[in-house]
Amino acid sequence: MLLGALVAVLLVVAGAGVAWWAVHRPVADIHNGASLPFTLSEPTTTDIGTTTPTNPAYGPPWPFYGRDRARTRDASDITDVHPPYRTVWKSRSLGFLEFPPSYADGVLYEGSDAGTVAALDAKTGDIIWRRHFGPVANQPAIWEGKVYFATFDKPGSIYAVGAKGGRTLWRTQLTAQVESSMVVSDGLVFTGGLDGIVRALNAETGRVVWKFQASGAVKDSIAISQGRAYFGSYGGVMYSVRATDGKLIWSTATHGLSGGLRSGTFYATPAVAYGRVYISNTDGKVYSFVASTGQIAWTSTLPDWAYGSPGIADGRVFGTSYDGSVAAMNARTGARIWTRKLPYRTLGSSTIVGNLVYVSDLGAKGRHGHVYAMDVATGQIVWRFPDGKYHSVIVANGHLILAGVTNLYNLRPRTSG
């Protein structure tokens, strides 16, 4: 009887081991990129305007999270902003900052987890106006003299306020909290929700024009390119829908690609370039989908969660991993160009300015992280700044604007006037 019981226990243990292996077994990367559609001549930085012409004296706008509607995080065209830097001003504490500000016409617009939404003079750092809402865990969007953002209180709301004075123009209450940063295209405001619903709202009135139900929470920001909206879900599915009415064009599930039967979650925001959609996943992989069909062109596995949003520039994809790794991949094939390790873990996203890619780390426990500038060709760290945490930098009027943990910094290239 004891022998039978022992055999039964061994069978249970063996069965559990087989089950664990079936779920967690490693899965090889996909390598179809060389044979699937890819258009290197397609510009990556497109459609960054706010539709109203800006004063050239203020420099190009940075109106959305990721700079443009395709969320490429690509400012490689701005070659005169580079280290060494001199600090021009440091803001007073605005509350905990997960995102950098957006910028247009000489003004920065920032939201914080403390619920503060503020407009700051980009030249001096002076507060132009400041208002308090629920927690703002997203980067504001700027369009036609309006600023759009969502609050993370319950159940969550989307606001449009006037860019000049911060007056509330409309508020639309939703059925769930929102982490997505807004994007505006063709008069529609796009956002995802923790209820898995992607919404398009009329930018003038806040009226919901259409809804799309995804397989799980949509925490990433919606990317818009050529009349299509792209986003991933916490159900492990990537989607493309028609931007005008939310009609599904394609959906691609990633179950079984991270290991066995598992699926990771899409928290990172997709970037659309070269006829591809690039997005990171908590399964540790960076994915490249064919934008027109949803077919997976390639995957590239990083050492840990791939939580940050990838940046795209000059035929390269820059991804990050929770263990602190930063990797550059060939945008067509996924072939690894270089991998470098930051001193601490990172949940940050990569942003390309000139020939440098900027990434922040989390720092040691109880201390601020750093922001690093790395050479896009080699990954060598050429500059670091002793404040940062998550999403790090934008460019405003020829200066680098850096989001620390609670403060904004205006950094001027020492070689400028």
> Which domains are present in the chain?
29-413 (2.130.10.10)
pLDDT band at 5 (very low <50, low <70, confident <90, very high): low
Residue 1 or 400, more confident:
400
Query: Using CA atoms, how far apart are residues 35 and 252, in angstroms rounded to an integer?
Result: 19
What is the arithmetic mean of pLDDT over 189-199?
A: 97
> Residue 51 pLDDT more than 60?
no
pLDDT band at 9 (very low <50, low <70, confident <90, very high): very low
Residue 366 or 186, more confident:
186
Q: Which residue has the tokens 């004063």?
A: 55
Which residues neighbour 91 within 8 Å (Cβ) at sequence distance 6 or greater? 120, 125, 407, 408, 409
> Residue 321 pLDDT more than 70?
yes
> Residue 172 pLDDT more than 70?
yes
What is the arithmetic mean of pLDDT over 217-237?
A: 96
Query: Using CA atoms, how far apart are residues 108 and 131, in angstroms rounded to an integer?
Result: 14
Of the candidate ranges 31-45, 196-210, 238-252, the one whose mean pLDDT is the lowest: 31-45
pLDDT (tens digit per residue) in 67-125: 999 999 999 999 999 999 999 999 988 888 999 999 999 999 999 999 999 999 999 99
The predicted pLDDT at position 259 comes to 54
> Residue 49 pLDDT more than 90?
no
The predicted pLDDT at position 261 comes to 47
Residue 342 or 389, more confident:
342
pLDDT (tens digit per residue) in 358-394: 999 999 887 889 999 999 999 999 999 999 988 889 9
What pTM value is reported for the model?
A: 0.91
Tokens of 301: 């596995």
Strand partners, 230: 223, 240
Average pLDDT, the chain: 90
pLDDT (tens digit per residue) in 288-310: 999 999 999 999 999 999 999 99
The predicted pLDDT at position 368 comes to 85
Percent of the chain with pLDDT over 70: 89
> Residue 402 pLDDT more than 70?
yes
> Which amino acid makes up residue 86?
R
Answer left, alpha or beta for residue 94, where phi above 0 means left and psi between -120 and 50 means alpha: alpha
pLDDT band at 154 (very low <50, low <70, confident <90, very high): confident
